[in-house]
Amino acid sequence: MFDQFDALLLARFQFAFTVSFHFIFPSFSIGLASYLAVLEGLWLWTGREVYLNLFKYWLKIFALVFAMGVVSGIVMSYQFGTNWAVFSDKAGPVIGPLMAYEVMTAFFLEAGFLGIMLFGMGRVGRKLHFAATLAVAVGTFISAFWILSANSWMQTPVGYGINEAGQFVPQDWWAIIFNPSFPYRLVHTVFAAYLTTALVVGGVGAWHLLRERTNKGARVMFSMAMGMVAVVAPLQILAGDMHGLNTLEHQPAKVMAMEGHFESHPDGAPLILFGIPDQEAGTVRNAIAIPKASSLILKHDMNAPLSGLDTVDRANWPYVPVVFWSFRIMVGLGFAMLALGVFSLLARWRDKLYDWRPLHWLALSMGPAGFVAVIAGWVTTEVGRQPFTVYGLLRTAVSASPLEAPAVAASLLTFIVVYFIVFGAGTGYILKLMGKAPHPGETGPEAGREPIRTAGITPAPAVNPARTLGAEV
Partner 1 sequence: MPALFDLPTLWAFIIAFAVFAYVVMDGFDLGIGILFPFFAPGPERDSAMNSVAPVWDGNETWLVLGGGGLMAAFPLAYAIILPALYAPIIAMVLALIFRGVAFEFRWRDPGHRRYWDFAFTTGSVVAALAQGITLGALLQGIAVEGRSYAGGWWDWLTPFSLLVGISLVVGYALLGATWLVMKTEGAVQNHSFRLAGKLALGLIACIGLVSAATPFLSGAYYERWFAWPQVLFTAQVPLLVGLCSGTLLVSLVRRWEYWPFLLTLALFALCLLGLGVSMFPYVVPNAVTIHEAAAPNVSLQFMLVGASVLIPIILAYTGYSYWVFRGKTGHEGYH
d(CA 249, CA 184): 13
The 8 Å CB, 24+ separation contacts for 426-434 are 426/64, 426/67, 426/68, 429/64, 430/61, 430/64, 430/65, 433/57, 433/60, 433/61, 433/64, 434/61, 434/204, 434/207
41, 92, 183, 332: residue in contact with partner 1 (rule CB under 8 A): 92
Shortest gap between Cβ of 382 and partner 1 (angstroms)?
20
464 is a site residue for partner 1 (CB under 8 A): no
Residues 34-63 that bind partner 1 (CB under 8 A): 63
* Number of residues counted as binding partner 1 (CB under 8 A): 88
Residues 6+ apart with CB under 8 A from 147: 98, 99, 102
The smaller minimum CB distance to partner 1, of residues 56 and 90, is found at 90
d(CA 394, CA 96): 16
407, 409, 416, 437: residue in contact with partner 1 (rule CB under 8 A): 407
303, 311, 454, 464: residue in contact with partner 1 (rule CB under 8 A): 454
The residues pairing with 278 across neighbouring beta strands, listed in sequence order, are 283
Which has the closest alpha carbon to 152: 381, 393, 328, 326? 381
164 is a site residue for partner 1 (CB under 8 A): no
Shortest gap between Cβ of 407 and partner 1 (angstroms)?
5
86 is a site residue for partner 1 (CB under 8 A): yes
401 is a site residue for partner 1 (CB under 8 A): yes
Contact present, 115 and 63 (Cβ < 8 Å): no
165, 281, 315, 462: residue in contact with partner 1 (rule CB under 8 A): 165
278 is a site residue for partner 1 (CB under 8 A): no
94 is a site residue for partner 1 (CB under 8 A): yes
Chain centroid offset of residue 468 CA: 33
Kind and range of the H or E element at 169?
Answer: strand 168-170
7 is a site residue for partner 1 (CB under 8 A): no
Instruction: For Cα atoms 284, 289, 295, give the angle at the middle one, nearest 5 degrees.
Output: 100
Residues 134-163 that bind partner 1 (CB under 8 A): 163
44, 372, 416, 452: residue in contact with partner 1 (rule CB under 8 A): 452
307 is a site residue for partner 1 (CB under 8 A): no
Residues 98-117 that bind partner 1 (CB under 8 A): 99-105, 107-116
3, 9, 46, 169: residue in contact with partner 1 (rule CB under 8 A): 169
88, 264, 307, 427: residue in contact with partner 1 (rule CB under 8 A): 88
Backbone angles phi, psi at 395, to 5 degrees: -75, 145
The smaller minimum CB distance to partner 1, of residues 28 and 415, is found at 415
1, 2, 45, 78: residue in contact with partner 1 (rule CB under 8 A): 78
d(CA 457, CA 172): 51
d(CA 306, CA 470): 61
74, 242, 290, 431: residue in contact with partner 1 (rule CB under 8 A): 74
315 is a site residue for partner 1 (CB under 8 A): no
Backbone angles phi, psi at 272, to 5 degrees: -80, 115
297 is a site residue for partner 1 (CB under 8 A): no
d(CA 99, CA 147): 6
d(CA 107, CA 26): 12
Shortest gap between Cβ of 101 and partner 1 (angstroms)?
6
The smaller minimum CB distance to partner 1, of residues 439 and 453, is found at 453
